[in-house]
Chain A
Amino acid sequence: MSTTPPPSTPTSAHSSWWLLLLLIPFVALLWVPFYNRLEPAIFGIPFFYWYQFAWVILTSLIIVLVDSRTRDADSSDRGGQP
């Protein structure tokens, strides 16, 4: 891999749009006034707590999605190489 020059990657610009999804957890968790509240509570757990717990799972799902999308793009790059 070190000896061949990096091939031009026409699809990488397209696939990199998926990376923007990774910004969502930052917005959702760093804008504190949005979730610093008690209601709606679930099973007596205030919103402040269950909302942030929910983002653990959502962030994980986003990363799985972005990984699968950008990985496919990478492998199709390789398929296109002579």
Chain B
Amino acid sequence: MNWTAITVFVLLFGLITVMGFVAAHWRRGDLTELHEWGLAGRRLGTVITWFLLGGDVYTAYTFIAVPALMFGAGAIGFFALPYTIIVYPLVFLILPRMWAVAHKHNYITAADFVRGRYGNRWLALAVAVTGIVATMPYIALQLLGLQVVIGAMGVGTGGGLAGDLPLIIAFVILAAFTYTSGLRAPAMIAVVKDTLIYITVLALVIVVPYQLGGYGNLFAAIPPEKLLLPTPGPGTLGQYSAYATLALGSAFALFLYPHTMTAVLSSTSAQVIRRNAAYLPAYSFLLGLLALSGFMALAVGVASMPEFAPQFELYKSNFAVPALILHSFPDWFAGVAFAAIGIGGLVPAAIMSIAASNLFTRNIYVPFINPSCAPAQETQNAKVVSLVVKVGALAFILFLPLQYAIQLQLLGGIWISQTIPAVIFGLYTRWFNPWALLIGWAAGLVIGTWMAGTTGFQSAVFPLAIDGLTIPGYAALYALAANIVLCILLSPIFNTARTTQGADETVASDYRFGLRSRQ
């Protein structure tokens, strides 16, 4: 047990717990309304939106898994950097339109928009269910991040219920402040979380290369096969196409995750989103540095140090960064770093559970189960569902093998991408027929799942063979291509029957965003 680190960790956790409850009083609103509880009243400005979106994209799982991939597999893991770069031109172009139409019609979820745009509650249901299913394993993996850092302090490695206790306590705290404060809690805590993470990463990229004698020595210590992508052999595009399609496909998928939508819709204007697209790459820089910490762990050689053997046994390469932190820093600073990662798991888990409960309430409960639901009742329902979602995620991580959560998260990325035609194309055109979109979505799910299945659900990269050339690529993109082709082929056929088209409650001017003012 590392008591110094534990003390610092617990103190910082106490601080954010207090903040989480105080947040209910911040920019006070009527928390019995869903857009107040679930979107913080749509009043978040540039700075808080920056922290909130940052908290969404750069999660505890990212902080553990990206360096772990660099540590284990090498350069291919660096695709996280181009992914988090090219996502921002897309954010800049697409999401202000989503904000404008959502603000006009009080949409809280992407499925709300789909229902309004296409007048088809089944298509909206498909979008909502996909969002919830893709989010659940993501929340579970935030817990994995928390579990690894708790284990790094020598707690809970013995297994059993006592070993899981710290994780359960952390989650009870999370559930309680999300319930009372809604989105205001993670918005406020995100500021502390990111400050701690910036401090940790800056310390890592300064201290470790200094100990190693410079960046030249760091890269020189990396085996050549991990330093670059291997040059593809004849008849295949090898890791080149895998790298590019993983970056592009992940960038598209990011938009569709319900928690991204929640953070975007909670901002106060379309211009806040455009400005954030320019400033958020600061996080990408951080993420790139963090990815390199996987190489630092390799260069330092933490895997062969006997004191870390039991945890590597338990957490595999996910322990690379915690081991590096323990090896390179004094205990008190390890406490700060672990708190950064742990809180970095709670913030996105809170946003995700709010987003999932918004989806359930707005797009499943009210339209299909209780149509006469009053607004206050709607909010109460969402608060309860956010608890259920979190308990589900906790049960997931405690009782099922970790591998399931990782595989489901991988599938979730493939599934969520299949809602792109309905949601993103819908922002620009009403040409597509809702039933064609529904069939395309279903076909995309089946094809993407089958592709991942051919790898035994171990990898999202599918070796597509065309005319003797093998193009390994992200299955989400291949499935999306099939999905889009079906939507294009079937839409004109369905559109000949006017009754299938559905009513559109939006008009072209709803998508325009005044950039000067909106008073």
The chain A residues found within 8 Å of chain B, CB to CB, are: 1-2, 4-6, 19, 22-23, 25-26, 29-33, 36-38, 41, 43-46, 48-49, 52-53, 55-57, 59-60, 62-64, 66-67, 71, 74-75, 78
Contact = CB atoms under 8 A, between A and B. Distances in A.
A30 B515 contact: no
Interface stretch (B128-136, B331-339, B345-353, B505-513): B505-513
Contacts of B247: 29-30
A46 B227 contact: yes
A60 B81 contact: no
A19 B82 CA distance: 20
Given A29-B247, A32-B243, A32-B244, A44 B92 contact: no
Given A22-B92, A48-B75, A56 B288 contact: yes
A62 B514 CA distance: 21
A55 B82 contact: yes
B376 interface: no
B400 interface: no
B34 to A, nearest CB: 22
B308 interface: no
B86 A25 contact: yes
Nearest to A61: B278
B279 interface: yes
B216 interface: yes
Contacts of B78: 48-49, 52
Contacts of A23: 89
Interface in B269-297: 271, 274-275, 277-279, 281-282, 284-285, 288, 292
Contacts of B235: none
B89 A22 contact: yes
B368 interface: no
A32 B243 CA distance: 8
Interface of B: 75, 78, 81-82, 85-86, 88-89, 92-93, 104, 214-220, 227-229, 231, 240-241, 243-244, 247-248, 271, 274-275, 277-279, 281-282, 284-285, 288, 292, 508-510, 512, 514-516, 518
**Which 8 pairs, one residue from A and one from B, show the smallest C-beta to C-beta distance?**
A44-B216, A22-B89, A29-B82, A63-B278, A60-B281, A32-B240, A30-B244, A6-B509
Given A5-B509, A30-B247, A56-B281, A78 B516 contact: yes
A32 B244 CA distance: 7
B85 A56 contact: yes
Nearest to B241: A32
24 contacts: A1-B512, A5-B509, A22-B93, A25-B85, A25-B86, A25-B89, A29-B86, A30-B86, A32-B241, A36-B75, A43-B214, A44-B214, A44-B215, A44-B216, A48-B227, A49-B78, A52-B288, A55-B82, A57-B281, A60-B282, A67-B92, A71-B271, A74-B514, A74-B515
A1 B89 contact: no
B514 A59 contact: no
Contact of B281 (A5, A59, A78): A59
A2 B81 contact: no
Contacts of B277: 63, 67
Contact of A26 (B89, B219, B512): B89
A52 B81 contact: yes
A7 B325 CA distance: 58
Contacts of A22: 89, 92-93
Contacts of A44: 214-220
Contacts of B217: 44
Nearest to A78: B516
B220 A33 contact: no
A16 to B, nearest CB: 11
A63 B95 CA distance: 14
A56 B82 CA distance: 8
Contact of B228 (A25, A38, A55, A64): A38
A29 B281 CA distance: 15
A1 B228 CA distance: 53
Contacts of A1: 509, 512, 514, 518
Contacts of A55: 82, 85
Nearest to B232: A33
Nearest to A62: B89
